[in-house]
Amino acid sequence: MGKLDVAILRYLTGEDFRVLTAVEMGMKNHELVPGSLVASIANLRHGGVHKLMKELCKHRLLTYERGKHYDGYRLTNAGYDYLALKALTNRKVIASFGNQIGVGKESNIYTVADEDRNPLCLKLHRLGRTCFRNIKDKRDYHAHRNRASWLYLSRISATKEFAYMKALYDRDFPVPKPIDFNRHCVVMQLVTGGPLTHVASVADPEGLYDELMNLIVRLGNCGVIHGDFNEFNIMIDEDNHPIIIDFPQMVSTSHPNAELYFDRDVRCVREFFKKRFGYESDLYPKFSDLERDDELDTEIACSGYKRTRDVDNELLEQMGIGLQVSDDEEESDDDQETEANTKMTEQDLDELRKEVDASIQNDERPIHQITSKTVN
């Protein structure tokens, strides 16, 4: 999907939002969420949930599908986008939408604006999309596992990105100012200028090289490694200074492979400067040079985390072997899922109803209550 269909944000109601949120919650442990379950956890005063779901299917925010054991609804990409964008508009973080300015491997980037028409950058994380293509001919079961995980992976990726950006911004690192996030969407300052890969020549390659290497070391001393420190993730602003972007894959310097990731980041810069600017230097940082002076990694709790992209790659490689994410509160158990609806106790349902209420409350909360520790 290229352009976001944002017209829909205007005419869907609070009840539609609640129904979609109920499907989202249901998808935590159901690949397909039975209509009766949606109705039960959406808990609308006047009922009518089935009619609303039918309308939402027409708008392609939901699909109704036949499963092996039972039929039900699931959120589409557009449905998930809608929930996040509606929440961000309700919170008055964004007021209008512009053009798509980038397509990454795992994201779509748009310009947006706030109520005062200040331009901002919106990043939609889209992990697990590639899974769809690769699993076409696999068994239903595998398809289900992976389809359920894109919500989870994309949300984790955005949450981690926001948390890192906030922690780095608070420490005066040159990163875009983080504004807010919701589900798989991050809103941040729009960087003027362009990625280093678009820069044909610089007046002072040595100066820029030193600046980038110093950044790698400063990050390392805080306990983190960018992990993808290349010419696509280094923006050059109007004053020819670097601004670093793209953080979901950041790792702790305590990670077992930390030195490898550190050396790779350093090598990326060296090789690019040699190739593009003909600049080479014997001076470059080594992992053993690092002198830890901050605990950014533990603040974000990234040390034990697997890199999001690795988790995703593992999904592709080991198709069907479950997610091994330690903090997972929503590990899907659809391998045992038969008549999922009947297995839910009244207590389970009550939990889900509360989660729907909490989620809607969170989506309506004013922006200033957000902290960097809101990971997961």
Which of 228, 297, 312, 334 is labelled catalytic?
Answer: 228
- Per-residue burial over 167-183, b if 16 or more Cβ lie within 10 Å, else e, is bbbeeebbbbebbbbbb
Residue from 24, 31, 81, 106 binding ligand ADP (CB under 6 A): 106
Say if CB 217 and CB 288 are below 8 A apart.
Answer: no
Exactly one of 67, 98, 102, 320 binds ligand ADP (CB under 6 A); that residue is 102
Task: State the binding partner of 373 from ligand ADP, Mg ion, none, CB within 5 to 8 A by kind.
Answer: none
Q: What are phi and psi of 311, to 5 degrees?
A: -55, -45
Pick between residue 98 and residue 102 the one whose CB is nearest to ligand ADP. 102
| 231 binds Mg ion, rule: CB under 5 A | no
Contacts of 136 (CB under 8 A, 6+ apart): 143
Q: Is 77 left (phi over 0), alpha (psi -120 to 50) or beta?
A: alpha
How many residues interact with Mg ion (rule CB under 5 A)? 4
Footprint on residues 102-141 left by Mg ion (CB under 5 A): 104
Of 40, 154, 159, 233, the one binding ligand ADP by CB under 6 A: 233
Nearest distance from residue 276's CB to Mg ion, in Å?
Answer: 18
Question: How far out from the chain centre does Cα 92 lie?
Answer: 20
Closer CB to ligand ADP, residue 243 or residue 370?
243
Work out whether 233 is an interface residue with Mg ion (CB under 5 A): yes
How many angstroms from the chain centroid is the CA of residue 15? 26
Over the window 113 to 132, marking each residue x when it contacts ligand ADP by CB under 6 A and - when it does not, the resulting string is --------x-x---------
Distance (Å) of CA 282 to CA 204, 225, 230, 279, 287: 17, 21, 19, 11, 15
What does the block give as tokens for 301? Answer: 């709790």
For the window 171-200, what string marks contact with ligand ADP as x by the rule CB under 6 A?
-----x-----------xxxx---x-----
Nearer to Mg ion, 29 or 233 (CB): 233
Select from 84-92, 104-112, 213-221, 284-292 the region that touches ligand ADP (CB under 6 A): 104-112
Q: What type of residue sits at position 9? A: L
Q: State in angstroms the smallest separation of the CB of 370 from ligand ADP.
A: 18
Q: CA 237, 102, 110 angle in degrees (round to 5)?
A: 90
In angstroms and rounded to an integer, the radius of gyration of the C-alpha atoms of the chain is 22
User: DSSP code of 138?
Assistant: S
Find where tokens 């090289």 sit.
209
Residue 14 token pair? 């609070």
Count of residues interacting with ligand ADP (CB under 6 A): 19
Among 89, 107, 159, 359, binds ligand ADP (CB under 6 A): 107
Note whether 169 binds ligand ADP by CB under 6 A: no
Q: How far is the CB of 308 from ligand ADP (least distance, A)?
A: 10
Residues 236-275 as x/- pattern, contact with ligand ADP by CB under 6 A: ---------xx-----------------------------
Closest CA to 36 of 341, 376, 345: 341
CB neighbours of 222 closer than 8 A, spacing ≥ 6? 171, 293, 294, 295, 296, 297
Distance in angstroms (rounded) separating the CA atoms of residues 20 and 62:
8
Closest contact distance (angstroms) between CB of 177 and ligand ADP is 9
Query: Residue 119: what residue type?
Result: P
Answer yes or no: 71 catalytic.
no
Amino acid symbol at 188: M
Which residues form the interface with Mg ion (CB under 5 A)? 104, 232-233, 246
Which residues form the interface with ligand ADP (CB under 6 A)? 101-102, 104-107, 109, 121, 123, 176, 188-191, 195, 232-233, 245-246
Task: Give the active site residues.
Answer: 228
